[in-house]
Amino acid sequence: MTDFERKVYQIIVNMHLYGKNPTLNDLKRKTGKSEGDIRATVKSLLMKGGLKWDKHKKMWTFK
């Protein structure tokens, strides 16, 4: 994982612990990166298997 992937992953995990799913705006505010960078990073995490989206529960699951 790159540093930015690790940062996005950790933000998602931490917000999940408080019962929240981060929005794109949350991730933009917390990372200071553009929407394109964040989308590419989340896609990369999904492809690597580090994150999965549970469609029924509408929340992230982790490896």
pLDDT digits (tens, 9 = 90+) for 1-45: 899 999 999 999 999 999 899 999 999 999 999 999 999 999 999
Domains detected in the chain: 3-62 (1.10.10.10)
**Spatial separation of the C-alpha atoms in residues 14 and 43, rounded to whole Å:** 19
pTM of this structure = 0.88
Q: Are 11 and 27 in contact (CB under 8 A)?
A: yes
pLDDT (0 to 100) of residue 39: 96
End-to-end Cα distance, the chain: 13
pLDDT (0 to 100) of residue 15: 94
pLDDT (0 to 100) of residue 11: 96
